[in-house]
């Protein structure tokens, strides 16, 4: 989507600047923008459209579209115009769109933000299945619990800089991740500040 | 992964636009009503002016029918394409489209052709309604008409793609198109012969591709001139096409590359 300011980025051996088309063929992106669909097309028609532009062969397209709709729990709304979708449904459709080309690298930006618990659980099962089949998953999240539950490597970005790059320990807790984040970035964890009586709070607010 | 042909991608884009237009029924009805109202207005204007005014030796109603039809095709199709680009920027669809394995320039050109094909259909309906409902006298040479239509489409595509390039680069596509539309309105010979203009404005008029497209269509549709007779006009139109289209594509490629470098693709 973007070109680097300096240096180079390689995906699967292909340079993003010189072999952009090859890179785009390998990378699936589920962005946070909800309404990035054609409102007067159904979910199935939208996915078929994007699959065509992503070079998915016509003979495979219908099967793949059904498969990804099922993976995100939208098979019953497949023929509904997306203008009638809720935020959560848009989000799930965005993930289906990223999956339809069977990418070798999958970029997910807060993918479960608007999902209910059951869909989230099913979604992560699908994602783990993809990871086991050699798909690289890059998850951008602010949710420590989710990062601890599904991640195996941590890249900590803070104000545009990479502040940490390490493996996640087996069974590393979300609390441990949280304290690592505040320790590394130097930010103040306001949730852990001990507040005294309401009178103390009132005084501090008038300082 | 198997590659999908350009034709298949074009069909997908055309189908998307067609389904959107069909499901947006009120928009379609408003366009058709607007088109017929405009025709009726020009018909009664020509009756009010009277049969004595025959610009270029033809009746005024067919003269203005061709002029307004082609002008509307140029401006409205460029506007429709620009609107679809702006909408794609606002909703975030443009960013997603740019992440598909289809090259950005190919995607934009196919989308433009689809948008322009829809407006080409409007032009054909407009001309047909003028002839069928308001009895505009025509003596068409269809080969010449098709040749003028093809060159007009190429030039209009260049205008639309340039507006899209300016939209991506400076977010000012609409302003440029407004300026372009206003200038063409009285300089292209749409409503009256350009010979009525003072000579400095005539010079500008002769530098505009739409002037030749309108003149060519009048010769082909109203005068029935053959391609050989109107070869000089077709040569000028071909010259504009082969010059403007590559320039527009280069400008678009440059603005897309810059936007991807700066991260401004979805700015509007």
Residues of B in contact with A3 (CB under 8 A): 257, 260-261
In a domain? residue A131: no
Residues 6+ apart with CB under 8 A from B217: B66, B69, B70, B145, B148, B149, B152
Question: From CA A108, how far away is CA B6, in angstroms rounded?
Answer: 29
Contact A36 B107 (CB under 8 A): no
What is the Cα A185 distance to its own chain's centre? 22
Same domain as A1, residue A53: yes
Same domain for A81 and A146, yes or no, is no
Structure tokens at A123: 């979604």
- B197 strand-pairing partners: none
Residue A192 lies in a domain: yes
Give strand pairing partners of A15.
Answer: A10
* Greater model confidence, B259 or A202: B259
**Do you know the residue count of chain A?**
207
- Residues in Cβ contact with B156 at an 8 Å cutoff, skipping those fewer than 6 apart: B73, B74, B77, B78, B116
pLDDT of A78 above 90 = yes
The answer, yes or no, to whether ipTM is higher than 0.85 is no
DSSP letter, residue B218: I
Residue A7 and residue A85 in one domain: yes
Instruction: Please indicate, yes or no, whether residues A3 and A99 belong to a single structural domain of this protein.
Output: yes
Residues A5 and A86 in one domain: yes
Q: Residue B131: is its pLDDT beyond 60?
A: yes
Confidence (pLDDT) at B265: 67
Among residues A71, A93, A113, the one where a domain terminates is: A113
Residue A2 shares a structural domain with residue A64: yes
| Residues A17 and A66 both lie in one domain | yes
Per-residue pLDDT at A201 exceeds 70: no
Contacts of B261 in chain A (CB under 8 A): 2-3, 5
- Mean pLDDT, range A104-129, rounded to an integer: 81
Summarize pLDDT for B144-196 with one digit per residue, the tens.
999 999 999 899 889 888 888 888 887 777 777 787 778 788 899 998 999 99
Q: Which residue has the higher pLDDT, A144 or B266?
A: A144
Q: What is the mean pLDDT of residues A83-95?
A: 86
* Structural domain ending residue among the three candidates A98, A113, A128: A113
Query: In this predicted model, what pLDDT tens digit does every residue of B203-226 receive, in sequence order?
Result: 999 999 999 999 999 999 999 999
Same domain, A14 and A102: yes
Query: Are B148 and B220 contacting, i.e. CB atoms less than 8 angstroms apart?
Result: yes
A42 and A5 co-located in one domain: yes
B128's enclosing H/E stretch is helix B104-132
Which residues span the domain enclosing A179?
141-207
Q: Is residue A119 part of a domain?
A: no
Q: Does pTM top 0.80 for this prediction? A: no
Q: CA B24, B171, B75 angle in degrees (round to 5)?
A: 55
How many residue contacts between A and B have a Cβ separation below 8 Å?
Answer: 94
Last residue of one domain, picked from the residues A68, A93, A113: A113
Asked if B210 and B182 count as a contact pair (C-beta separation under 8 A), the reply is no
Q: How far apart are the first and last CA of chain B?
A: 34
Reported as type and span, the H/E element at residue A27 is: strand A27-30
Torsion of CA B157, B162, B166, B167, to 10 degrees: 0
Determine the Cα–Cα distance for residues A25 and A12; give it in Å rounded to an integer. Answer: 11
pLDDT on residue A68: 92
Residues of A in contact with B24 (CB under 8 A): 40
Give Cβ neighbours of residue B193 (< 8 Å, ≥ 6 apart).
Answer: B55, B56
- pLDDT band with cut points at 50, 70 and 90 for residue B232: very high
pLDDT band of A80, cuts 50, 70, 90: very high
| A107 in the same domain as A7 | yes
Q: Count of domains in chain A? A: 2
For residues B259 and B105, the answer to whether their CB atoms sit within 8 Å is no
User: Do A14 and A99 belong together in one domain?
Assistant: yes
**In chain A, which residues have their Cβ closer than 8 Å to the Cβ of B16?**
38, 41, 45, 49
Residue A132 lies in a domain: no
For an interface test with B, give the residue of A53, A57, A138 to mutate (most B CBs within 10 A).
A53
Greatest CA separation for chain A: 70
Q: Is residue A121 domain-resident?
A: no
CA atoms within 13 A on the CB side of B90: 7
User: What is the percent of chain A with per-residue pLDDT over 70, rounded to a whole number?
Assistant: 89
Using DSSP, state whether A168 is helix, strand or coil: coil
**CATH number of the domain that residue A18 is part of:** 3.40.50.300
- Measured between CB atoms, which of A29, A35, A38 is closest to B99? A29
Whether A206 has a pLDDT exceeding 50, the answer reads: no
Q: Residue A200, class by beta-carbon neighbours within 10 Å (0-12 exposed, 13-18 middle, 19+ buried)?
A: exposed
Are A80 and A154 within one domain? no
In a domain, A151, yes or no: yes
What's the confidence (pLDDT) of residue B39? 92
């Amino acid at each position: 989507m973007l070109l680097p300011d300096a240096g180079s980025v390689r995906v699967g051996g292909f340079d993003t600047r010189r072999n952009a088309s090859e890179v785009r063929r390998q990378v699936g992106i589920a962005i946070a923008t909800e309404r990035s669909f054609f409102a007067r097309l159904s979910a199935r028609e939208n996915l078929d459209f994007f699959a065509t532009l992503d070079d998915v062969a016509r003979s495979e397209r219908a099967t793949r579209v059904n498969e990804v709709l099922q993976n995100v729990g939208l098979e019953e709304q497949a023929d509904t115009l997306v203008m009638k979708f809720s935020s959560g449904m848009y989000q799930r459709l965005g993930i289906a769109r990223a999956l339809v080309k069977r990418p070798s690298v999958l970029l997910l930006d807060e993918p479960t933000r608007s999902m209910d618990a059951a869909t989230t659980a099913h979604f992560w099962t699908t994602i783990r299945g993809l990871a086991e089949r050699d798909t690289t998953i890059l998850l951008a999240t602010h949710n420590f619990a989710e990062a601890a539950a599904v991640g195996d490597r941590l890249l900590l970005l803070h104000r545009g800089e990479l502040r940490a790059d390490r493996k996640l320990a087996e069974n590393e807790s979300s609390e441990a991740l949280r304290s690592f984040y505040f320790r590394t970035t130097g930010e103040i964890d306001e949730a852990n500040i001990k507040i005294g009586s309401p009178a103390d709070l009132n005084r501090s607010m008038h300082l | 992964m198997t590659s999908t042909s350009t034709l298949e991608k074009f069909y997908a884009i055309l189908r998307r636009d067609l389904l959107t237009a069909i499901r947006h029924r009120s928009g379609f009805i408003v366009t058709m009503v607007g088109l017929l109202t405009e025709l009726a207005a020009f018909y009664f204007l020509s009756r009010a002016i009277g049969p004595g005014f025959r610009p270029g030796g033809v009746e005024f109603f067919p003269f203005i029918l061709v002029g307004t039809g082609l002008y509307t095709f140029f401006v409205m199709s460029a506007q429709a394409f620009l609107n679809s680009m702006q909408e794609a920027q606002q909703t975030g669809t443009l960013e997603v489209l740019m992440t598909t394995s289809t090259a950005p320039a190919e995607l934009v050109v196919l989308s433009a052709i689809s948008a322009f094909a829809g407006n080409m259909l409007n032009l054909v309906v407009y001309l047909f309604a003028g002839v069928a409902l308001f009895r505009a006298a025509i003596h068409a040479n269809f080969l010449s008409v098709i040749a003028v239509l093809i060159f007009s489409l190429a030039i209009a595509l260049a205008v639309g793609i340039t507006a899209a390039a300016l939209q991506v680069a400076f977010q000012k596509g609409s302003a440029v198109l407004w300026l372009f539309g206003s200038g063409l309105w009285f300089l292209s010979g749409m409503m009256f012969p350009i010979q009525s203009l003072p000579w400095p404005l005539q010079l500008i008029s002769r530098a505009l591709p739409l002037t030749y497209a309108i003149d060519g269509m009048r010769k082909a549709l109203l005068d029935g001139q053959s391609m050989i007779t109107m070869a000089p006009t077709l040569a000028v139109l071909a010259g504009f096409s082969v010059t403007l289209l590559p320039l527009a594509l280069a400008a678009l490629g440059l603005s897309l590359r810059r936007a991807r470098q700066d991260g401004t693709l979805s700015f509007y």
